[in-house]
Chain A
Amino acid sequence: MYPAPIDDYFAPAHLDEALTLVERYGDDAKVIAGGQSLLPMIKLRFVRPTCLVDLTRLSGDDGEQLRRLRVVDGLLEVGALVRHADLVDGALTAERLPILAAVARGVADLQVRNRGTIGGSLAHADHAADYPPVVLALRAVLEVRGSGGSRTVPAGEFFVGPLQTVMGTREILTGVRFPLPPKGTGIAYVKHSAVAGDFAIANACTYVETDPDGRVTTARVAVGGVLPRATLALNAAELLMSGAGPEAAGQAAVEEVRTFGDTRASGEYRAVLIGAAVAQTAREAIAAARKGGSGHAA
């Protein structure tokens, strides 16, 4: 199927040029990196950008920054152009934040992971994508650049609604920073989808820190596949911190997160999966935390 007509295509070497272009074209421009979500949208005429600004040819300092994968001051910095495959294969993710490698490994398929980027996925903001519950539970911070300069947005404030973020059309997502978990931390992620690699019917990420006696001192639970956006399940997290078990946390998540039916699943089925996903990730995260070290399960 042919994409809708596109009048202009630019592949600038510098981010400033890209920002000038999105400033000039405004709502008519779309920023493209891997294009694994954008191109189907253009084929289906859900969006009709007259101008594409391709970030994949950024070079020099900008290219380095948007492709970086490095640890600085207790943060894992991931450039927006880092591909899912880079996260799966990268030694740094495997060593410092293996949950991210595990999550990336479940994104779509090999071919899409070779081209799609973490920045593209986050900026596209599909409510059923893999990363949203993870950035919420890990309290990641997103870096956004506009012509006026850079700003950072906590993950909890980034997603607005389905395919909507706080970014303006004249801004570009440049990266995401993940705080590295301290010792005694456990993180787990699970996705329930109709077929392997698909978007989630329901997904969940649970983050827990435990004290030397194995008691949960900090917990964050996030679920996705729900509208209008992935969300923290605050009551579920509270329960884990009060010593309740994973099953109770799962039940709490079902009660506090409103579910709906769509072409993927009924609201009732989705609620069951959310409960199961939260219970499973809580169980795995607590077990990993109690093993000591910063364990991860996915």
Chain B
Amino acid sequence: MQRELVVMVNGTRHELVVPIRLLLVDLLRDTLGLTGTHIGCSVEGRCGACTVLVDGESMKSCLMLAVQTNGRNVTTVEGLGTGPDGLAPIQIAFREKHALQCGYCTPGMLMTATDFLSRNPEPSEGEIREAIVGNLCRCTGYFHIVEAIHEAAEKTSPAAERER
């Protein structure tokens, strides 16, 4: 019923014994206290609020068992910011473009956007909209979220880096 688990979360190594059926999202929130990762739909993985990075790729932590992350690196929204004020460029862009209202979807949006921009540093608006298909927002109508991801791309793209 239980298994040993060794997992890196935001750079910290955790050695745990967990129930096999424990979902990654519940490991993060309940066991490790990292409540930045949210639970929206909780069943079919449609809302994307629980999105985290596993070995750098965005995945839904409600659609993974904790034991499946054995030996992997998990990054949550708490581990995203590395800048001087503790925020990543994508977080600064969300703040500046007013890309959230209630904020419930925001952690998942940030994680998906982080993965997406690492693959596609200079995306079109259509590509951005396609990238966040798996993240539901019921407040903003997505306009400001798309703008924020675009802004983050412009600030961090290879072209922007070259100009610096």
Name A residues whose Cβ lies closer than 8 Å to a Cβ of B. Answer: 1-9, 11, 35-36, 39-40, 42-44, 52, 54, 56, 85, 89, 108-112, 114-115, 196-197
Q: A114 and B43: CB pair below 8 A?
A: no
**A111-B112, A114-B115 known; A6-B21 Cβ under 8 A:** yes
Q: B60 and A112: CB pair below 8 A?
A: yes
**A3-B21, A8-B20, A110-B115 known; A196-B133 Cβ under 8 A:** yes
**A1-B42, A9-B65, A44-B43 known; A114-B20 Cβ under 8 A:** no
Interface residues of B, CB < 8 Å — how many? 32
Q: How far is the CB of B26 from chain A (nearest CB, A)?
A: 8
Q: Which 8 A-B pairs have the closest CB atoms?
A: A109-B134, A6-B20, A3-B21, A109-B133, A114-B57, A9-B20, A40-B44, A6-B21
Interface hub of A7, A11, A39, A42 (most chain B Cβ within 10 A): A39
Further contacts, 16 of them, CB under 8 A, given A2-B23, A11-B67, A115-B59: A6-B1, A6-B21, A8-B20, A9-B3, A35-B64, A39-B23, A40-B45, A89-B119, A109-B134, A110-B58, A110-B115, A111-B134, A115-B63, A196-B133, A197-B133, A197-B134
**A54-B68, A110-B58 known; A4-B45 Cβ under 8 A:** no
Closest residue on chain A to residue B129 by CB atoms: A196
> Contacts of A110 on B, CB cut-off 8 Å?
58, 112, 115-116, 131, 133-134
Q: A40 and B134: CB pair below 8 A?
A: no
Question: Does B51 touch A at the CB level, under 8 Å?
Answer: yes
- Bound-state CA distance A57–B3 (Å) is 16
Number of A-B contacts (CB under 8 A): 86
Question: Does B85 touch A at the CB level, under 8 Å?
Answer: no
Q: A35 and B42: CB pair below 8 A?
A: no
Closest residue on chain B to residue A197 by CB atoms: B133
- Bound-state CA distance A7–B1 (Å) is 4
Question: Does B48 touch A at the CB level, under 8 Å?
Answer: yes
**A5-B1, A109-B134 known; A35-B21 Cβ under 8 A:** no
Which B9-23 residues have C-beta < 8 A from chain A? 20-21, 23
**A35-B68, A197-B133, A197-B134 known; A112-B45 Cβ under 8 A:** yes
- Bound-state CA distance A5–B115 (Å) is 32
Q: How far is the CB of B131 from chain A (nearest CB, A)?
A: 6
B64's contact among A44, A108, A115, A197, by CB below 8 Å, is which?
A: A115
Question: Does B70 touch A at the CB level, under 8 Å?
Answer: yes
Q: How far is the CB of A284 from chain B (nearest CB, A)?
A: 20
Q: How far is the CB of A49 from chain B (nearest CB, A)?
A: 11
Q: B63 and A112: CB pair below 8 A?
A: yes
- Bound-state CA distance A196–B20 (Å) is 33
> Contacts of A36 on B, CB cut-off 8 Å?
45, 63
> Contacts of B48 on A, CB cut-off 8 Å?
109, 111
> Contacts of A54 on B, CB cut-off 8 Å?
68
Closest residue on chain B to residue A42 by CB atoms: B21
Q: How far is the CB of B110 from chain A (nearest CB, A)?
A: 13
Q: How far is the CB of B109 from chain A (nearest CB, A)?
A: 12
Q: Could you list 23 A-B pairs, sorted by A, with CB under 8 Å?
A: A6-B1, A7-B20, A8-B20, A35-B64, A35-B65, A39-B63, A39-B64, A40-B43, A43-B43, A52-B20, A89-B119, A108-B134, A109-B48, A109-B134, A110-B115, A110-B134, A111-B48, A111-B60, A111-B112, A112-B63, A114-B59, A115-B63, A197-B134
- Bound-state CA distance A2–B21 (Å) is 7
> Contacts of A2 on B, CB cut-off 8 Å?
21, 23, 26
Question: Does B130 touch A at the CB level, under 8 Å?
Answer: yes
Closest residue on chain A to residue B3 by CB atoms: A9
- Bound-state CA distance A41–B51 (Å) is 19
- Bound-state CA distance A2–B3 (Å) is 17
Q: How far is the CB of B3 from chain A (nearest CB, A)?
A: 6
